[in-house]
Structure 1
Amino acid sequence: MNTEKQFYVSPRATKIMRIFWKAAGADHYLLQQSTYGDQIKYVCLGGIIIATGVMAAIAGGYAFYTIFEPKGNAIDSFRTVSGIAGNYDQTHWPTALKALVFGLIWGLIIFNIDRFIVTSTGKGDGTEAITKKEFVGALPRLVMGAIIALTISKPVEIRMFKTEIDVALHEKQIQQQQSYKANIDSVFNGQISKKESQISPFLERLKQLNAIGDTLQGRINYEISHGGCSDKCQEFKQQFLKNDEAKNAIKNDPEYLAVKQQLDDLEKTRKQKLDESDKVAAGLDGLLERIKLAHEKAGWVISLFITLLFMTIELTPIFFKLMLIKSPYDYMEENVKELLKAQQGIEIKHNYYPEKEGIERDLVINHEVIRVLKEKIQILETQSELSATAIHSWKEKKKEDIAGNPENFIKEDQA
């Protein structure tokens, strides 16, 4: 009869749980043998990390879309995109697809940073209390987490208050447009007035000649209607032709033509600049301006609350790990690490020696490295001894050869 009984069987982990464990950087092999409490702790930890990555992807994609979407009036029902009128509320799909790709990449970046921050954060002293030393050690990770929380919270904030931001932005766009038009008018009106004063005498003379021409044409018509064109009618026609010649002389005057051309160019340039007022006002619709308006409309309290909310989500895993009480999983993990070190011949003597500043340091002894090093030293020493023996034997043999046949080693000079 088998009397051995397992007093506890670890729950079977689902595929979703293993994904969350992997996100939290936990060892799924050890967790499968650990308690249900340990399994749930790392599921929650991984869930927070994955959720942060998803939120970062959404926020990053929305920020990218806000920056690169076609600009226009903030509350107009229609805007023109590449010359084609379209509904403002409709999605601009080319930009949306780019934003989707960017959002996925950004989410993965934040996910990996978060995962590194959490997995590199130790468990402190194994108690619920967060000591000053633990907090100082985690401070760089807390700063990085706070920065990540800010990058996530701002795009979400401007999306939450989009309606209020659009109204306020529309008012600023109108003010920007009016201010731009006033500046353009102030720049061009002085130059146009100067050219108008130069061309005014020519225009006045043309006006007079036009009036004279109209009078002469009326008299000619009167004479023709009352008996045909008499001598007096011919005289009126001669005067009419001279009047036309005078008008043509003015119209072909080089000074008149030059001033008229300059005036036309100024009017054309002024009209082009005024037509750009919509584009200038639309340029105000940027991410930075929307963030400013979100702060103005929401107020610093609500804005701070949203930021703190995302900071809480982002920093919770770090504080969570510092507050964890050691559990069976932690002891099994430490056991595996010690076994691996022992298997590789690594010995650590904790607080073995103080450094110059008085801080206790661990002594790490790599026995496998020492063994290989000793073997290498012995091989080199043996090779050195063998080389010395070979050289000595070669020397003795050469001496015997010289003693037997010295003439083979000495050549006399012949005159």
Structure 2
Amino acid sequence: MEQLTRFFWWCSGAHRETLEKYPAEHSKYVGIGATIFFTGLFAALSGGYALYFVFSGSLFAPLYAVLFGLLWGLAIFNMDRYIVSSINKNAPGFRQFLQATPRILLAVLIGIVIARPLELKVFDKEIRDQLRVTYLDRQRANIDTLNKAFDSKYAIELGKLAELKSERDSLEASIKTDRIKLKMETFGEKTVETSGIVGYGPYAKQRQADLEKQERYLDTLRASIRQQEAFIAQRKQFEGLLDEQLLTGAQLDSAVNNAGFADRNAALGDLKYHPDGTVNEANYWSIMFIMLLFIFFECLPVFVKLMSARDAYDIALQNQQTVDNHRSGKDRDAEIAIMDGISDTKVRQGIERQKALLYSE
């Protein structure tokens, strides 16, 4: 416990020899140091987790994540330790606040940066579901875009195919009607278009000949349609339309597992809103409260230092700094005096040498 206490003192940036003389202040600086330490720890975890998705799929992704996490955590820890320890409790309150203002603004930014990767982990299941929807929508949109571009490029060929199909459908309907009329003519049913004579007479033969002619033309139309469809299918293959297919379940799961940090971050942002664009209150405030929690946690060391009253340790530290400044001032004065003495001696020696030269002449 003693070693842990000393470690947290060091994290708080306190002067250990001076602080040991005032037991009443020990726990306060243990709390400040622990807060700074755990802020750096959360920063390391957050940075490592974020970089893991940046290098996702790489063999060395875990190693890169650990190294970057340690560097990021140490950077945040060192910054917190320096700024908290640099707040002068012996200065007036307004000046202390001015000293802490850059640190508070920086804490807000750091809190947002630290909170985001941890939010990704908290909402991991919901993010995976959102990514599946996003990837499918994106692929459908891509297929639609390719189809529109193809329709525009081959508008003439597609128009010709549509005309052939329309003519085929019309001819098939006409043949069906003529077959009914041929049947009525053969059985002697009297209508405006039939003779009413039973048997396969001249009228029936004429209708049969017209029907066979239409069927031959229908076969020609169908052959033209097949030829046109084959050409369009060949162009679709050439343009890559046939290669674009919606992902299956296994392929979609693989794409979600390999999703990078940007896609996961965008999916987390999409969770704040319903498909119709309205705000999803539950998800929105859950994500917001996590971010606010880390911002508060990041600002906590500064707030504790600002809110704490000027204590015996601060007074002793000010006195020690005054003594050190006084000693350093005396040392500088002594050094200046010594340098002045050396300079005077050199001047006198120069004058004596000049006199000796004059006497010798």
* TM bucket normalised to smaller: 0.5 to 0.7
Q: TM-score, normalised by structure 2?
A: 0.66
Deviates more, 1:45-54 or 1:298-307: 298-307
Shift of 1:14: 0.9
Equivalent in the alignment of 1:101? 67
Equivalent in the alignment of 2:148? 186
Shift of 1:166: 2.1
State how far apart, in whole Å, the 2-side matches of 1:51 and 1:178 are: 45
Q: 1:177 to 1:49 in 2, by over 3 A?
A: same
CA-to-aligned-CA distance 1:323-376 (integer Å, 9 cap, x gap)? 2223332233233323323333x2xxxxxxxxxxxxxxxxxxxx3223322332
Q: Does the 8 Å contact 2:39/2:298 carry over to 1?
A: yes
| SS of alignment partner, residue 21 of structure 2 | coil
State how far apart, in whole Å, the 1-side matches of 2:235 and 2:346 are: 96
1:37-186 to 2 correspondences below 5 Å? 37-70=24-57, 94-123=60-89, 131-186=93-148
Paired AA for residue 97 in structure 1:
L
Paired AA for residue 377 in structure 1:
D
Q: TM-score, normalised by structure 1?
A: 0.58
CA-to-aligned-CA distance 1:136-166 (integer Å, 9 cap, x gap)? 3321111111111111111122222222222
Question: How many residue pairs align between the two structures?
Answer: 279
Q: Quick check: which one's helix share is greater? A: 2
State how far apart, in whole Å, the 2-side matches of 1:169 and 1:276 are: 14
| SS of alignment partner, residue 274 of structure 1 | coil
Equivalent in the alignment of 1:22? 10
Equivalent in the alignment of 2:331? 368
Give the root-mean-square deviation of aligned CA atoms. Answer: 3.4
Paired AA for residue 289 in structure 2:
F
Percent identity (aligned): 25
State how far apart, in whole Å, the 1-side matches of 2:47 and 2:134 are: 26
Q: Does the 8 Å contact 1:192/1:266 carry over to 2?
A: no
Q: Which runs of 5+ in 2 are unaligned?
A: 161-229, 274-279
CA-to-aligned-CA distance 1:34-67 (integer Å, 9 cap, x gap)? 21x3111111111101110111111111211233
Shift of 1:318: 0.6
Q: 1:397 to 1:273 in 2, by over 3 A?
A: farther
Q: 1:369 to 1:272 in 2, by over 3 A?
A: farther
Q: Quick check: which one's strand share is greater? A: 1
Larger Rg computed on CA atoms: 1
Q: 1:330 to 1:112 in 2, by over 3 A?
A: same
1:241-390 to 2 correspondences below 5 Å? 267-271=237-241, 274=244, 286-296=263-273, 298-344=282-328, 346=329, 367-390=330-353
State how far apart, in whole Å, the 2-side matches of 1:119 and 1:276 are: 58
Paired AA for residue 16 in structure 1:
L
| SS of alignment partner, residue 244 of structure 2 | helix
Q: 1:195 to 1:54 in 2, by over 3 A?
A: same
Shift of 1:299: 4.3
State how far apart, in whole Å, the 2-side matches of 1:124 and 1:292 are: 45
Shift of 1:167: 1.8
Q: 1:32 to 1:314 in 2, by over 3 A?
A: same
Shift of 1:120: 1.3
Paired AA for residue 342 in structure 1:
H
Q: Which runs of 5+ in 1 are unaligned?
A: 1-12, 71-91, 199-259, 347-366, 399-415
Shift of 1:98: 2.1
Equivalent in the alignment of 2:216? none
Shift of 1:190: 4.7
